[in-house]
Copies of this chain bind each other. A is one copy, B any other.
Amino acid sequence: MVKRNLETCFSPALYETERHEGSIIVIIDILRASSSICTAFENGARSIIPVATVPEARAYKGKGYLVAAERDGFILDFADFGNSPFNFTPQKVTGKTIVYSTTNGTGIIQMASSAGYIVIGSFLNISSLTGWILKQDKDVVLFCAGWKNRFALEDTICAGAVAERLMASTLYSTICDSTHAALDLWSLAKGDITGYIEKAAQRSRLRDKNLDDCIGFCLTIDYTRKVPIVKEGVLVCVDL
């Protein structure tokens, strides 16, 4: 049996658009975009329109959409709420289409738009995500959002956790150094994810802005069975 190829991309600046065209791209931005998207679907959101720029988000607001938008942790003045998963409550999102724009995560969804499939990954949906991937028979790229093009530890260990499960299936192999590094860093982190994340720069940024209340939640394994997937530019969800 020919195994499918597993790769990891540590930053938007390292993404190779043409080479990844036929692959499943797993968007990983656990603090906080990909965790918030998973939470929104768990709480009943109908769809999410990811937009890369502030003017796009503002234009949607003008059309009457519910808009979640932040930059560097701060809610944009025209937005209904920001980027914490705790904002996406059933009361706010059930049955709704949400327009969503964040510092890092939503832009890379558009960057990956030429790929075969784009799905959202986090600790919150890791089992359903990997279960879905294993049924697809496709190469996979774990695309870590990082922070302003920089490598981020928290996304990398989540990529390592996903990679561990895919490699354990025997359906995947890798010759990608980034994947090996993610697997190795995950092996160091998995005994105490919260403790490991303490040294991450994003951990400090969120603490400095009093936005770190959601970190424990974002590290919860299997809070939801939802797998958010992009269809024609819009996030909908597959329920496993």
CA distance A187 to B13 in the complex (A): 27
Stretch in contact with the other chain, from A54-62, A67-75, A132-140, A199-207: A199-207
B contact residues around A156 at 8 Å (CB): 177, 181
Q: Is the CB of B178 within 8 A of A150?
A: yes
Query: A161: CB under 8 A from chain B?
Result: no
Contact indicator A153/B175 (Cβ below 8 Å): no
Nearest-neighbour CB distance to chain B for A158, whole angstroms, equals 13
Interface residue? A149 (CB, 8 A):
yes
Across the interface, which residues of B come within 8 angstroms of A151, CB to CB?
A: 10, 14, 177-178, 181
State A113–B193 Cα separation when bound (angstroms). 39
Neighbouring B residues of A176 by C-beta, 8 Å: 201
CB-CB contacts of A44-65 with B at 8 A, as 1s and 0s? Answer: 0000000000000000000000
- The minimal Cβ–Cβ distance linking A155 to chain B, given in whole angstroms, is 9
Decide: B14 and A149 in contact? CB cutoff 8 A.
yes
Contact of A188 among B14, B188, B204 (CB under 8 A): B188
Cβ-closest chain B residue relative to A183: B199
Residue of B nearest to A157 (CB): B181
- CB-defined contacts of A153 to chain B, threshold 8 Å: 177, 180-181
| Complex interface: chain B residues within 8 A of A175 (CB) | 201, 204
List residues 10-43 of chain A with CB under 8 A from any CB of chain B: 10-11, 13-14
Contact A200 B177 (CB under 8 A): yes
Cα-based distance from A206 to B79 in the complex (angstroms): 53
A213 contacts chain B at the CB level, 8 A cutoff: no
Asked if A185 lies at the interface with its beta carbon under 8 angstroms from chain B, I say: yes
Can you identify 23 A-B contacts, CB atoms within 8 angstroms? A11-B13, A11-B14, A13-B13, A14-B14, A14-B149, A14-B150, A14-B151, A150-B177, A150-B178, A151-B178, A153-B177, A156-B177, A175-B204, A177-B199, A177-B202, A180-B199, A180-B200, A181-B181, A181-B185, A184-B188, A185-B185, A187-B188, A188-B188
Which residues in chain A, 184-201, are within 8 Å of chain B measured between CB atoms?
Answer: 184-185, 187-188, 199-201
Residues of the B chain whose Cβ atoms lie less than 8 Å from the Cβ of A184: 184-185, 188
Instruction: Tell which of B10, B180, B199, B202 touches A10, judged by Cβ atoms closer than 8 Å.
Output: B10
